[in-house]
Amino acid sequence: MDEDKTTPIVSKELQAVLFSTEYNSNSDEDNTNANKKISIRDPNSSINILDVDPQSIDKWVPLLRKHIDKNEMKDVILELRKSIKDNFQDMDLHLLQNSAMNEQLMNSIHNLALIQNNLQNAQYEAKLLALQDELTTTTNKVVLQKKNFISNKKNNTKINECLVLITKCLQILELSNNCHQLISSQQFYRALQSLDTLDSIYTQDFKKEFNFQFLKQIHASIPLFKEIIKNESINLIKKFFNSNLDKNLHNVGKNLYAIYGEELLPDWIELRGKLKLPVSLKFNSPVEISLRDNEKVKAISPINWFNIESFHDAILIFTTLNEMEYLSQEFEKVYIFWKNKLVYPLDLKHSASSNSGNKGQQSTLVNNAFTTLDDIQNYFWKILGLLVFDRFLQKETDYILTANAFSSTDDFWASFIKLYNPILVDFIKKKLKDEESVIKFKDFLGLVLSICDYLKLNIKQLYETYIFLYKIFCKLQITMFDQEFTSLLNDDDFMPLTVKDKPLYSKILKICWLKEGDEETLATNININNDDFLVTLPFSPLYPMTCTLLRKINAKLENFIQNFYQYETNRIINIFISAIDNIFNKHINLKFQQKLNSTSREELAQILINLDYFLVATENFSKNLSKTFDAEIQLTAEHKVKKTKALAETKLTELIDSKVADLMEIIELDWHVTTVRTEPDLIIRDIAQYLEMMFTSTLVNLPYDIKTLLIFREFDTLTNRFLSLLINGTPSTITPQSVLNFQTDMKFLENVIPNIFPQQQDELLAPAASSPSPSLSCALSRTTSMMSMTIADSSAMIESNVRSLKSTFDELNQHINLLKSGSLDQYKSSRMKLYPRVKPDVANMLINKLSTYQEMIRQQQKQKEMQRQQQLSNRNNNNGNGSISAATIVSNTGNNNNDASVEDTLSILTSANRQKISNFFNRKF
């Protein structure tokens, strides 16, 4: 109890409301208000227990909500149940104790049951009727609504269909309008796509079911639009060709040429130098192309210069229309017309079929159009631009425009170059007359060839012209060389070159090709003081000047082919070699041959020396060319210069022989002389001096072997002539005195031999002297010829040469010794020992000549003896001795006739011979 008092009652307010609520039973009287009350039904039956006024319910709601919000409903329910027990605990007992109440309750229950039955029946019937009415009404409404729904649905479908149709109509109108705009903006392919879409929509949605006139008109205009698109596409291509494309192509060709000439070529030259690549690697070779700067390669891409979207659009359009053949035909017409216009004044179309008169006019027109290099350059730049464009267009369009004619560009190039190449050849022949113009044309044509080769065009015919240009350049260089060499040859003094300037001397040593050993020998002269510097070289000024010319020409010929000419290298090398060979053969060698008609020993000797050095030059040229072109090369000029050198030796020998022969003709020996001379005859002395001077001065610079050969030849000829004179030129009788005199003369000639060859070590080496004498030149010649030998070897060789040369007098001396013996006794007994080269018949003849003279002398002596005896008897004079030794002594008591004969013997020169000798030696006798 205490706990109940202390626990708060949460349902106090709800209980108060519940208790104050009026509850009514379901009686008949209240049926009318039943719809205004809320019935509380027993959950286990269909009978309503109480009817509660809605207002009362409204009072419950706030309280119930309050408890629900506070989550107190469980407590509230428990409290309400407990309160029922508390409040209604004694109610059952009270009711049972009250009989009236019980009876009344029983009656009420019965009445309630009746009322309940009646109410239920009435309600059911009323409800059923109401339900039937309501169902009828509802059904009617549903039917009406369904009819309305079906009608609305049909209308909605028609509306939707109209909307779709209107949308498609609007789409067709929009496509048609869009097509107009695209055609106006030259977007023909997109316009064609719009037309295809329009045609598809109309065919699928309108053509069969609807008959809209405006749509028919729009659809009927599709072919017209397509025809407009076709024509406008072709017109756009024509407009592309007519929009100053020739100027654009000229600029493209010029820019491409400039990139090649001003960027790619200098880059390659610099790179080749840095990497030390061989000169055989030319510009535009695979190696050069692989090493190009990628940015510069991109710069020459045709995509930078040509916009060919109109061609792509045309291809798409006509491919879509399935009319590519028509596009190809129209394109070909336009392109051929435009090409013919671009290549004017050439006529690619009518050149082959034109008559001779038209060809003549065409030729005149063409020749007048290409008179300068600028004309050719400007023309070729257009052609290069055309070739680049054509190759680019065909490649980008997959050769569709030319009906898969993959060689269209090559065919055009072949036709063009066939006509234009003769013009280039004619221009080269007639207009390129100097070196500068040829080099300019070479650079231009070389770059053109490089570009055409890069475009994969056939450059064979144009390359032939390029090779022809090299031939022209070679001929031009040969002509220039011939002019300068002729001038140098005519101005040459044919004297050894004397140099007083040390820098000039060094330059000459670098320029000239020298014999093996010359460079080391001549280099020692550099150490001479500047004040004392004076060197005489063996060759004349012609040789260093010619060497300079040859080096310049060789450098020019090499530079000409250095960057280009990458094909047919063997042919180019042959042209190069032929040019050098031509210079040596037909100009240097031939002009030297013409000079061999000279009658001057000095000039012939100098020519021989120069030829010797020019032979060295040809040999060095062969070596240098072999090294340059990495092949074994030998100039034919080597053999021809050798032949000319041999001819010069022969000419010089013949000239010397002729001079000696002239001297021999002047000699008149007195074979009847009766006196003996201790000195050689004047003419013999002059011959000896002539030979000595010729070999030690005039011919001093000759190569040692040639000079030695000449010495041997001349002395051999001279001894043979004197031997022939002794055998065949002597009279039938000769005096012993004349034989002794002849021996004296021959000994004098023989003693000249040592003077011709150097004997001392100082003479052998003969260092460079500061005097202008020929000693240095002589020393150079000797030292050059004997560089490979030691001093001892050189001395031994000279001594051997002297002995060999003296042996040329052996045969002559044997004949003289035989005459001196006076008989054949010694000859018969010691022939092979003393006279091996004297033939028996010659020995008999000579001894007979001497014996006849001796017999005549004996007869004369007998007569003289008789006269003397007679005179002695008169004057008491002593008799003279008749031996050969006594006969050689001139008596002081001799008569005037004997004195006269002695005087005649001392001078064997007649008046005629005096004049000959005077003319020969330029001396007065």
Highest mean pLDDT pick, 513-522, 733-742, 847-856, 867-876: 733-742
How confident is the model over 384-422, as pLDDT tens digits? 888 888 888 888 887 777 766 677 788 888 888 888 888
Three-state DSSP at 923 gives coil
Domain end (from 854, 873, 901): 854
Domain end (from 641, 658, 675): 658
The reply to whether 648 and 513 lie within a common domain is yes
The reply to whether 630 and 672 lie within a common domain is no
Query: What's the sign of the alpha-carbon dihedral 55, 59, 62, 68?
Result: negative
Q: Where are the beta strands (DSSP E) in 702-751?
A: none
- 21: Cβ–Cβ under 8 A, 6 or more apart, which residues? 52, 53, 56, 59
The DSSP 8-state label assigned to residue 260 in this structure reads I
Is 165 inside any structural domain? Answer: no
Query: At residue 592, does pLDDT exceed 80?
Result: yes
How confident is the model over 476-517, as pLDDT tens digits? 999 999 999 999 999 888 888 888 888 888 888 888 888 877
- 377: Cβ–Cβ under 8 A, 6 or more apart, which residues? 444
User: Quick one: pLDDT at residue 785?
Assistant: 44
- What are residue 789's phi and psi, to 5 degrees? -110, 155
User: Quick one: pLDDT at residue 137?
Assistant: 87
**Weakest mean pLDDT among 23-37, 127-141, 295-309, 348-362:** 23-37
Higher per-residue confidence, 276 vs 757: 276
The first and second tokens of residue 457, run together, are 């065009």
> What is the spatial distance between Cα 105 and Cα 512, in angstroms, rounded to a whole number?
167
* β-sheet bridge partners, residue 75: none
Query: At residue 355, does pLDDT exceed 50?
Result: no
Contact 413, 432 (CB under 8 A): no
The first and second tokens of residue 453, run together, are 């080769």
The DSSP 8-state label assigned to residue 536 in this structure reads E
The reply to whether 645 and 724 lie within a common domain is no
Burial 900-914 (b: 16+ CB within 10 A, else e): ebeeebeebbeeebe
The reply to whether 277 and 407 lie within a common domain is yes
Is 808 inside any structural domain? Answer: yes
Is 731 inside any structural domain? Answer: yes
Report which residue type is found at 510.
K
Q: For residue 833, what are the CA distances in angstroms to 103, 726, 743, 829, 840?
A: 214, 22, 20, 9, 14
Contact 704, 785 (CB under 8 A): yes
The reply to whether 285 and 419 lie within a common domain is yes
Helix (H) or strand (E) holding 421: helix 408-431
The overall average pLDDT reported for the chain is 76
Contact 698, 602 (CB under 8 A): yes
**Average pLDDT over every residue of 858-864:** 72
Q: Give Cα 627 to chain centroid, integer Å.
A: 19
How much of the chain is in helix, strand and coil states, percent to nearest 5? 75, 0, 25
The reply to whether 316 and 277 lie within a common domain is yes
Q: For residue 868, what are the CA distances in angstroms to 771, 859, 865, 873, 877?
A: 67, 14, 5, 8, 8
> What is the spatial distance between Cα 179 and Cα 168, in angstroms, rounded to a whole number?
16
Domain end (from 608, 632, 658): 658
> What is the spatial distance between Cα 738 and Cα 677, in angstroms, rounded to a whole number?
9
> What is the spatial distance between Cα 778 and Cα 1, in angstroms, rounded to a whole number?
169
Q: Of 294, 291, 247, which Cα lies nearest the Cα of 273?
A: 291
The reply to whether 691 and 623 lie within a common domain is no
Banded model confidence at residue 893, pLDDT cuts 50, 70, 90: very low
Q: Of 626, 363, 616, 587, which Cα lies nearest the Cα of 488?
A: 587
374: containing domain: 228-345+370-427
Query: At residue 552, does pLDDT exceed 90?
Result: yes
Cis (ω within 30 of 0) for the bond into 345?
A: yes
> What is the spatial distance between Cα 578 and Cα 557, in angstroms, rounded to a whole number?
11
User: Quick one: pLDDT at residue 119?
Assistant: 63
How confident is the model over 817-847, as pLDDT tens digits? 888 888 888 888 888 888 888 899 988 888 8
DSSP H helices in 492-600: 502-511, 518-523, 542-560, 569-582, 590-595
> What is the spatial distance between Cα 202 and Cα 329, in angstroms, rounded to a whole number?
33
* β-sheet bridge partners, residue 40: 50
The first and second tokens of residue 638, run together, are 């080597």
Burial 312-347 (b: 16+ CB within 10 A, else e): ebbbbbbebbeebeebbebbeebbeebbeebbeebb
Is 70 inside any structural domain? Answer: no
The first and second tokens of residue 849, run together, are 């000549």
Banded model confidence at residue 764, pLDDT cuts 50, 70, 90: very low
Is 743 inside any structural domain? Answer: yes
Contact 460, 414 (CB under 8 A): no
Contact 686, 917 (CB under 8 A): yes
Query: At residue 712, does pLDDT exceed 80?
Result: yes
Q: Of 686, 732, 638, which Cα lies nearest the Cα of 917?
A: 686
Q: Of 679, 680, 698, which Cα lies nearest the Cα of 690?
A: 698
Q: For residue 471, what are the CA distances in angstroms to 168, 283, 428, 474, 557?
A: 79, 20, 11, 5, 10
The first and second tokens of residue 729, run together, are 């030129």
Is 307 inside any structural domain? Answer: yes
The reply to whether 697 and 845 lie within a common domain is yes
The reply to whether 653 and 733 lie within a common domain is no
> What is the spatial distance between Cα 726 and Cα 748, in angstroms, rounded to a whole number?
17
The first and second tokens of residue 524, run together, are 């020692």
The reply to whether 727 and 636 lie within a common domain is no
How confident is the model over 146-179, as pLDDT tens digits? 888 888 888 888 888 788 778 877 877 777 787 8
How confident is the model over 795-824, as pLDDT tens digits? 677 777 787 878 888 888 888 888 888 888
Is 302 inside any structural domain? Answer: yes
Three-state DSSP at 42 gives coil
The reply to whether 274 and 415 lie within a common domain is yes
The total of structural domains in the chain comes to 3
Query: At residue 915, does pLDDT exceed 60?
Result: no
Q: Of 158, 250, 169, which Cα lies nearest the Cα of 214?
A: 169
User: Quick one: pLDDT at residue 125?
Assistant: 75
CA atoms within a 13 Å half-sphere pointing along the CA-CB vector of 789: 15
Degrees (nearest 5) of the Cα angle 30, 36, 39? Answer: 75
**Average pLDDT over every residue of 43-68:** 64
CA atoms within a 13 Å half-sphere pointing along the CA-CB vector of 919: 9
Is 636 inside any structural domain? Answer: yes
How confident is the model over 247-256, as pLDDT tens digits? 888 888 888 8
> What is the spatial distance between Cα 811 and Cα 817, in angstroms, rounded to a whole number?
10
Higher per-residue confidence, 704 vs 747: 747
The first and second tokens of residue 65, run together, are 């909500």
The DSSP 8-state label assigned to residue 302 in this structure reads G
Report which residue type is found at 581.
D
The reply to whether 272 and 382 lie within a common domain is yes
> What is the spatial distance between Cα 826 and Cα 848, in angstroms, rounded to a whole number?
15
The DSSP 8-state label assigned to residue 767 in this structure reads P
